[in-house]
Amino acid sequence: MQTLIIINDPPYGTERLYNGLRLAHALLKRESDVTVFLMGDAVSGAKQGQKTPNGFYNIERMLKLVTAKGRVLLCGTCLDARGITEEELVAGSERSTMDALAEATEKADKTLVF
């Protein structure tokens, strides 16, 4: 089964990105084909070098787990608006486009939005 998870919220301050990635991890354990598309403030979660307090979740680490078995696509326009360059991104995440999101949506059996 192909699942597309679209996430809009920032990495910290709400837990939508955190919970979307938790679901992605659970689906990947079940051998599902998972694509996560980050847009809006969620793209800042793909910036490498995040330092969070001990005991607090770290979105960078969570994204790396998704890229090991699934795909993480990032809205290029959203990256540009926030001044985030490709060199600053978590390894395995990919700058993407709305056309790629449209294609992923068409191919997905399920699309979930956080």
How far does Cα 52 stand from its chain's mean position?
Answer: 18
pLDDT at 76: 98
pLDDT at 25: 98
Give the residues of the chain that fall short of pLDDT 70: none
What Cα–Cα distance (Å) separates residue 105 from each residue in 2, 49, 65? 10, 30, 22
pLDDT at 92: 97
pLDDT at 17: 98
Superfamily of domain 2-51+58-113: DsrEFH-like (3.40.1260.10)
The domain ranges of the chain are 2-51+58-113
pTM: 0.96
Instruction: Return all residues near 110 (Cβ < 8 A) that are at least 6 apart.
Output: 1, 2, 3, 4
pLDDT at 72: 98
